[in-house]
């Protein structure tokens, strides 16, 4: 560790103003602060002194995602072996998932960080760390057999149009990872929806046994085949087909616990999202006219990407509401709309992505009215006293 510090100190002058590589200053800075706590201090405005800077915040989110990543890789293997009717050891399953998922992660990081570095260099500011999380979220919300070049295009789109045009990390209106997913969903629907895309090897159909449909539980439910739904335990542990990281509610709950304990993810948003989902689920149960509307309201939380969206996507600190009251409204509407789109609109079997993106757009408006309301309340109080 010491020798690394010494090495960085030795090469540092080259990157400072007047040095040989001054053009690459922000790239150097990014690597230096990635390895060591920065000694820079904020000089303007009110601020709290804390060693926990943005890089370390982002690292905590990545750590919280590790259970879903590992489980997702294993589940990719499991679904493939089920589809081909083979048996495999746990390690074999995991290894197959690893060699399928790892390239997607690499592509997402290389493309996304490449663009981030290029923009930082060009604009002469520090490299923003936001992509550390987005880069891992993007693979987790994709089906396993998505072609790698599509991942690259979607990542580039999300970083440039979703983030950099607004001024980079901290300025984006939309969640970049979901922007990438939405882009793929509308641009290449044949790779993003249907029954065949969720299981590795099913797109070309080799060696797939007939009894395996590959349909996600959500697709089964939307088609009205409630009897085909997997058991609640299976849906909770996540041995079902779906996007890479979204299937296991258990792994996501572990991540949620890490986020809440470290104070990085907003428990307020997560809980209100869940409540929103439960309320609309209950309403649909009451007025049920088809089998999809009849599935027990709490099972909606286990299906599809609801848990993943509520824990990792809705809580994105940049695109979510900032005010405490706003967070509750924001979360509630996400949960409410997600299930509403999922059940009522047959064109979109999963509404979580669309609900979160929509509420991202409305988050500043919600905040505005919460703040206005607060100002009015305090003005009234002041008048009464006077």
Partner 1 sequence: MSAEKEPLFSSKNIKLLTEPLNDSNPITVQVLGICSALAVTVKVKPAFVMALSVMVVMAVSNVAISLLRKTVPPRIRIIVQLVVIAAMVILVDQVLKAFLYDISKQLSVFVGLIITNCIIMGRLEAFALSNKPWQSFLDGIGNAAGYGIILIIVAFFRELLGSGTVWGFQVIPKGVYDFGYENNGLMILPPMALIVVGAIIWIQRAKNKKLVESN
- Which residues make up the interface to partner 1 (CB under 8 A)? 147, 149-150, 153, 161, 165, 183, 186-191
| Residues 321-327: contacts with CB under 8 Å, at least 24 apart | 321/269, 321/363, 321/366, 321/367, 321/370, 322/363, 322/367, 323/366, 323/367, 323/370, 323/371, 324/268, 325/370, 325/373, 326/363, 326/366, 326/367, 326/370, 327/266, 327/268, 327/269, 327/272
Cβ 185 to partner 1 shortest distance, Å: 9
Q: Is the CB of 212 or the CB of 348 nearer to partner 1?
A: 348
Q: Which helix (H) or strand (E) holds 76?
A: helix 54-84
Cβ 116 to partner 1 shortest distance, Å: 17
**Cα–Cα distances in Å, from 183 out to 57, 143, 186, 248?**
27, 14, 6, 24
Cα gap 156→150, rounded to integer Å: 10
Q: Is the CB of 18 or the CB of 205 nearer to partner 1?
A: 205
- Token pair 């967070």 is found at 327
Cβ 360 to partner 1 shortest distance, Å: 15
Q: Is the CB of 145 or the CB of 316 nearer to partner 1?
A: 145
Q: Is the CB of 94 or the CB of 183 nearer to partner 1?
A: 183
Q: Is the CB of 116 or the CB of 220 nearer to partner 1?
A: 116
Residue pair 131/114 in contact by the 8 Å Cβ criterion: no
**CB proximity list for 2: less than 8 A, separation 6 or greater:** none
Cβ 187 to partner 1 shortest distance, Å: 4
Cβ 193 to partner 1 shortest distance, Å: 11
Cβ 147 to partner 1 shortest distance, Å: 6
Task: Report the alpha-carbon angle 95-132-314, nearest 5.
Answer: 95
Cα gap 56→88, rounded to integer Å: 38
What DSSP designation does 303 have?
S
Residue pair 167/155 in contact by the 8 Å Cβ criterion: no
Q: Is the CB of 70 or the CB of 161 nearer to partner 1?
A: 161
Q: Is the CB of 184 or the CB of 221 nearer to partner 1?
A: 184
Cβ 186 to partner 1 shortest distance, Å: 4
Cα gap 71→101, rounded to integer Å: 11
Q: Is the CB of 162 or the CB of 217 nearer to partner 1?
A: 162
Cβ 149 to partner 1 shortest distance, Å: 7
> 64 burial class (0-12, 13-18, 19+ CB within 10 angstroms)?
buried
């Amino acid at each position: 560790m010491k020798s690394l510090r010494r090495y960085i100190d030795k090469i540092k002058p080259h990157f400072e103003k007047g040095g040989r590589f001054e053009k690459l200053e922000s790239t150097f800075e990014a690597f230096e602060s990635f390895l060591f706590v920065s000694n820079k201090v904020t000089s303007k405005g009110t601020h709290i002194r804390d060693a926990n800077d943005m890089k370390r915040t982002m690292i905590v989110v990545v750590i919280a995602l590790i259970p879903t990543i590992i489980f997702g890789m294993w589940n990719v293997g499991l679904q493939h072996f089920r589809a081909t009717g083979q048996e495999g050891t746990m390690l074999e399953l995991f290894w197959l998932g690893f060699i399928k998922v790892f390239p997607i992660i690499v592509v997402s990081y290389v493309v996304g960080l490449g663009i981030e570095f290029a923009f930082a260099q060009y604009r002469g500011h520090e490299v923003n760390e936001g992509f550390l999380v987005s880069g891992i979220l993007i693979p987790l919300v994709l089906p396993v057999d998505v072609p790698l070049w599509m991942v690259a295009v979607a990542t580039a789109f999300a970083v440039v149009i979703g983030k950099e045009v607004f001024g980079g990390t901290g300025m984006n209106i939309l969640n970049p990872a979901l922007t990438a997913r939405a882009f793929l969903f509308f641009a290449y629907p044949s790779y993003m929806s249907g029954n065949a895309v969720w299981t590795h090897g099913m797109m070309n159909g080799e060696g797939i046994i007939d009894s395996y449909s590959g349909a996600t539980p959500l697709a089964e439910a939307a088609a009205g085949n409630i009897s085909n739904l997997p058991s609640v335990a299976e849906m909770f542990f996540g041995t079902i087909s779906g996007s890479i990281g979204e299937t296991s509610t258990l792994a996501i709950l572990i991540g949620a616990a890490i986020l809440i304990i470290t104070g990085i993810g907003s428990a307020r948003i997560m809980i209100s999202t869940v409540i929103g989902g439960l309320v609309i689920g209950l309403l649909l149960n009451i007025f049920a006219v088809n089998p999809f509307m009849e599935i027990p309201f709490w099972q909606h939380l286990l299906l599809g990407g609801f848990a993943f969206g509520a824990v990792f996507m809705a809580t994105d600190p940049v695109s979510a509401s900032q005010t405490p009251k706003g967070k509750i409204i924001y979360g509630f509407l996400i949960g409410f709309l997600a299930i509403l789109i999922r059940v009522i609109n047959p064109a979109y079997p999963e509404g979580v992505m669309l609900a979160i993106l929509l509420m991202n757009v409305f988050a500043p408006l919600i905040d505005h009215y919460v703040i206005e309301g607060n100002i009015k309340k305090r003005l009234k109080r002041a008048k009464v006293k006077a």
